[in-house]
Amino acid sequence: MTLHIGGHVDGLDPVAAAQERGATLSQFFLGNPQSYKGPVIEYAAGAAALKAAAAAAGVDLYVHAPYPINVASTNNRVRIPGRKLLQQHLTAAAEIGAKGVIVHGGHLGVDEDASIGFDNWRKCIDGLDMAVPLLIENTAGGENAMARRLEAIDRLWEAIGAASGGDTVGFCLDTCHAWAGGADLTDVVDRVRAITGRIDLVHANDSRDAFDSGADRHTNFGAGLIEADGIADVVRAAGAPVVVETPGGVEGQTADITWLRSRV
């Protein structure tokens, strides 16, 4: 298979970053990933120029939403600003011609009713103007997470399916998160597809921590605890574009991209 792959890069020039890695896509944040402030286009020439440059270079762009977004939350001060911020990122992503916005599934407190979180997701999707596809990513930790366990993803997808436009929401499968979240990588693609009907993007990462540890700590391929063939098998089975979110900058990610290409 021809592997459509790239790295998670900074937002200053994601087209040049892809070219430096010999890649055909780039994923990046629009501004500070820990902030509730709105998206920032860091590309010096602006959104329209970035869209044109990416198209000319044959580089697909993906936007990762900020980490504080938790639209499942029962706390209005978290949920409502999170919805607003997510909408702002969907709108900005469309302006740069991005293929999608990736967002984590979020979580509730351990003693809270998970059904409220799933329904909050339904309400969120109902209210979004989906200018580009929204891709929900599985997460590594949290005992009351909306997208860690496959059983939770099943409930999440049932809730989203009841929303207007829910059938357009996609899924991003992270190998490190799946491993650390307790999902067997040998059949995770088939099991996720049985729930969601789709895998739109793969985050290919090795894990520094043990299976079902709940720890979200990425590392380079071969340096972590996931069997090398396990990551390649997931990528091959998913047949989706791939983002490498591993450390080491240009050198580290280029090595990982080359490593994965040689095995897929």
pLDDT at 165 (0 to 100): 84
pLDDT at 138 (0 to 100): 98
pTM of the entire predicted model: 0.97
Residues of the chain with pLDDT under 50: none
Using CB atoms within 10 Å of the CB of residue 201, give its burial: 0 to 12 exposed, 13 to 18 middle, 19+ buried: buried
pLDDT at 2 (0 to 100): 85
Mean pLDDT of the chain: 97
pLDDT at 228 (0 to 100): 85
Q: Are 134 and 99 in contact (CB under 8 A)?
A: no
pLDDT at 1 (0 to 100): 72
pLDDT at 147 (0 to 100): 98
CATH number for the domain formed by residue range(s) 5-263: 3.20.20.150
pLDDT at 31 (0 to 100): 93
Domain ranges of the chain: 5-263
In angstroms, the CA 57 to CA 24 distance is: 9
> Could you tell me the two tokens for 210?
């043990």
